[in-house]
Amino acid sequence: MIAMDNLMDKIVALAKRRGFMYPGSDLYGGVANTYDYGPMGVELLRNIKNLWWKYFVHQRADVVGLDASLISHQKIWEASGHTKGFADALIDCKNCKLRIRADHLIENYLEEHDTDDLLNLIEAFDKGQIEDLKKAVETKKVEGLSSGRLDEIIGIFKIPCPNCKKHDFTKVRKFNLLFPVQLGIVEGDQSLAYLRGETAQGMFVNFKNVVDSTRVRLPFGIAQLGKSFRNEITPGNSVFRTLEFEQGEIEYFFDPDATNWETLFEDWKKDMWDFATKGLGIKEENLRWREHSDEERSFYSKRTEDLEYKFPFGFKELWGLAYRTNYDLTQHQEASKKDLTIVDPITNKKILPHVIEPAVGINRLLLMVLVDSFKQDEKRTVLSISPKLAPVKVAVFPLLANKPDLVEKAKEIYLDLKSKISGFVALDARGNIGKRYLAQDEVGTPFCITVDFQTLEDQTVTIRDRDTTEQVRIKIENLYSYLSDKLKI
């Protein structure tokens, strides 16, 4: 067993050592909260995205895809409320100049301290209304509280700076999370646009385009995979929260008079759970649902639940599921002054559809897969990744690198498998065979094939299974059918 606090360090080290991800702009000292995905990371990320797309678009009859522009009109973000409400409450330590999110500072403090002790301090606070403060202490969440209330909580508990331990903060200030972009090259003649803060708005502003250009009928979903950008301060934790990140979002449009939203909500919960457990192979005991309280839920949402994963730094949101009513389409209809209703072909009723939105951070899925599959004992470190996701599907080794007959035969098998297998196939002749196995175990390669002297005599090779380390010998002509069955390709 590995101590949990150690686990994150080990995963970050392995991710860099084996080419999953590197700190962004590392050569020039780095840009905080950005990451570059290396040869293994990009394969894993792509496999997760392809599986998501297959599961939620190709295998369904009622979802179509979209790929909207990253640069988008400022009016989109005004209508969606992002330019006004989409802000982080930040606070600066006057002593050591650390800048942190006030909600993180407070929530970490609440987690670490006894609820009854904190409630006693709240009771002793005699400046009127304390119900919302008591609720924050009990739920250990401060979402929905004003900047002034956050200031009060920090003051009541005399919360210290996590860096220098002094209690000497500025007032809480709000910073907008959207990245502005200046369009046009002539100064003074530029117009403001934004890098998108979420992919969801692309589905809302293209809702009418999709309806008019395809054969979709309610209920139906529009799905999108792509990058979003948020200018936020984060507490680290690898790729859990970064300035640019990849989202997988679906807006599922329906007529609330014809479709029961509660049933639909439960159906989506089941699909998300199945994708995480059966699709990505995550252990059920590390997942849980958490319903948002009235305070943290957006005012227009009737229900929001998060699928959370037990990361080494605690249970954290992986995937949000929200019933957003028809708030977004209403906002865009009003702001654009264009009719976004559709007409029911049977009843001729005009409908402005409601939506249920499952929204997941793909990079969080990747981090989850790394955490969930990491195993270590005295002998080796292994990523027991589902073969569907493994960055390298198969590695082929010549037993000895200095025997041309073995190398030639290995290369022949490698090229043949490469042409047949969908995914990355590796050929490795460096170092001794034991080191090659260890290197493949660390990136989660399900099968390693070794070409030895017996191969040259009887056209058989050994195949080693990553999880059991057991080896079987099989004929080369049966290799592909053996692998395709095990890899489910």
What are the tokens at 313? Answer: 């730094």
Minimum Å distance from CB 168 to Zn ion?
Answer: 7
Asked if 341 contacts 220 with a C-beta cutoff of 8 angstroms, the reply is no
Give the residue with the Cβ less far from Zn ion, 70 or 91: 91
Please say which residue, 164 or 456, places its beta carbon nearer to Zn ion: 164
Quickly tell me which residue has 């929905």 as its tokens: 144
Q: Whose Cβ is closer to Zn ion: residue 95's or residue 301's?
A: 95
Cα 15 to Cα 165: distance, rounded to the nearest angstrom: 32
Name which of 170 and 191 has its Cβ closer to Zn ion: 170
Taking the complex as a whole, the smallest distance from the CB of residue 427 to Zn ion amounts, in Å, to 52
Rg (CA), the chain: 26
33 contacts: CB under 8 Å, gap ≥ 6? 232, 233, 234, 236, 241, 242, 243
Instruction: Scan for tokens 């977004």, then name that residue.
Output: 328
Provide the minimum distance between the beta carbon of 174 and Zn ion in the complex, in angstroms, as a whole number.
21
CB of 163: closest distance to Zn ion in angstroms? Answer: 4
CA 45 → CA 153, 211, 246, 367, distances in Å? 40, 31, 10, 10
What's the min distance (Å) between Cβ of 413 and Zn ion? 59
Of residues 140 and 167, the one with the C-beta less far from Zn ion: 167
Is 96 or 415 the residue whose CB approaches Zn ion more closely?
96
**β-pairing verdict for 180-183 and 191-195:** antiparallel
Nearer to Zn ion, 4 or 164 (CB): 164
- Residues found near Zn ion in the complex (CB under 5 A): 93, 95-96, 98, 161, 163-164
CB of residue 93 to Zn ion, shortest distance in Å: 3
Query: Nearer Cβ to Zn ion, position 161 or 203?
Result: 161
- Separation of alpha carbons 393 and 487, rounded Å: 8
The nearest distance, CB 160 to Zn ion, in angstroms, is 8
Residue placing its CB nearer to Zn ion in the complex, 93 or 451: 93
| Identity at 334, one-letter amino acid code | E
- Shortest separation between residue 32's beta carbon and Zn ion, angstroms: 17
Distance of alpha carbon 323 from alpha carbon 286, whole angstroms: 25
CA–CA gap between residue 198 and residue 414 (Å, rounded): 42
Give the residue carrying structure tokens 């609440």: 110
DSSP secondary structure letters along 48-60: HHHHHHIIIIIT-
Q: What are the C-alpha distances in Å from 360 to residues 98, 188, 200, 201, 309?
A: 30, 39, 11, 15, 12
Give 95 or 206: the residue with its C-beta nearer to Zn ion.
Answer: 95
* Residue of 218, 199, 222, 194 lying closest to 77 (CA atoms): 194
CB of 105 to Zn ion, least distance (A): 11
Q: Which is nearer to Zn ion, 93 or 396 (CB)?
A: 93
| Closest distance to Zn ion from the beta carbon of 433 (Å) | 52
How far apart are alpha carbons 219 and 271 in whole angstroms?
16
- Give the C-alpha separation, 355 to 173, whole Å: 33
Instruction: Report in angstroms the alpha-carbon separations of 86 from 196, 245, 298.
Output: 12, 17, 12
Nearest distance from C-beta of residue 98 to Zn ion, angstroms = 5
- Give me the half-sphere count of Cα atoms (radius 13 Å) on the Cβ side of residue 185: 0
Closest to Zn ion by CB, 23 vs 160, is: 160
Phi-psi region of 429 (alpha: psi -120 to 50; beta: other; left: phi over 0): alpha
Provide the minimum distance between the beta carbon of 167 and Zn ion in the complex, in angstroms, as a whole number.
9
